[in-house]
Amino acid sequence: MKLNRRAILGALTVGTALLGAAIPAAAQDNGLMAIITPSHDNPFFKAEAEGAEKRAQELGYETLVLVHDDDPNKQSEMFDTAIARGAAAIILDNAGADATVEPVRRAKEAGIPSFLIDREIKETGLAVSQIVSNNYQGAQLGAEEFVRLMEEEGPYVELLGREADTNAGIRSAGYHDVIDQYPDMEMVAQQSANWSQTEAFEKMETILQANPDIKGVISGNDTMAMGAWAALEAAGREDVIVVGLDGSNDVRDSILDGGIKATVMQPAYRQAQLAVEQADTYLAEGSTGQEEKQLMDMVLITPENADKLETFSLSE
């Protein structure tokens, strides 16, 4: 029979109590939890890391927070670091659906379970949990609002995320399954800005020069939406309708100021905390009690509810 860490600690606690001695502080340490995400320059990923770190520490874990910058090689090195340090678990927002399969497999073979958030990988049975926002549902919410704001007609632009990211394709499909039902909606440009605000600004400048009559921009995430909006403001085109996706505080503020018109919030902070809680349950009991793949629905954010949004969480 395999004893888990909690069982061992419990036995030590009982034994120490019987001896009338104090429990050593080290016996209350549940081990190291590695938290690996993309760059914290994006507030979404920063919220993930902060949510996971705070919850892990509350549950008695030492934390190791690492940033892979969407570089699969750097991510692989970070897995090696987590394995070498004997991490109890890995919380991960990955650097590519294909490129991440092998590191997760390597960790599993080393006896370290992985709990994925935000982005899925291409294989099942390697990670214990893959907790992601319902990107298709969220994209459809955003597209429905975009169509309404566009009054069902006019030329528009779509900014795509990173091509290696499964979420980019899912969101685009969700957008088009709604927008393409309206024949008077005309997509005049579709380009990837790789989730980047700087790249979105540059792409938007170029697109606007070639398509000065655009009426709207729908973006695969809020960071690109902010870049597009900055370019539109610089060109004096505040009349263009911009809709994002993520639910960042920056876009919230823009919505409240009458800039960007809408976004769709995905619960990044809570999602990361949930992954930590499932890791804690798994380490204690050998199971999370949940399916590997889990979807969390998104929420449309407009001027009506934007004031209730804070760090990818909506208050009542």
Residue pLDDT, tens place only, 66-91: 999 999 999 999 999 999 999 999 99
Mean pLDDT computed over 47-56: 96
Residue 16: pLDDT above 60?
A: no
Residue pLDDT, tens place only, 18-50: 333 333 333 348 999 999 999 998 889 999 999
Mean pLDDT of the chain: 91
Residue 154: pLDDT above 50?
A: yes
So what's the pLDDT on residue 21? 34
Mean pLDDT computed over 104-114: 98
| C-alpha span between 13 and 25 (Å, rounded) | 11
Residue 5: pLDDT above 70?
A: no
120-144: buried (b, 16+ CB within 10 Å) or exposed (e) per residue?
Answer: bbeeeebbbbbbbbbbbebbbbbbe
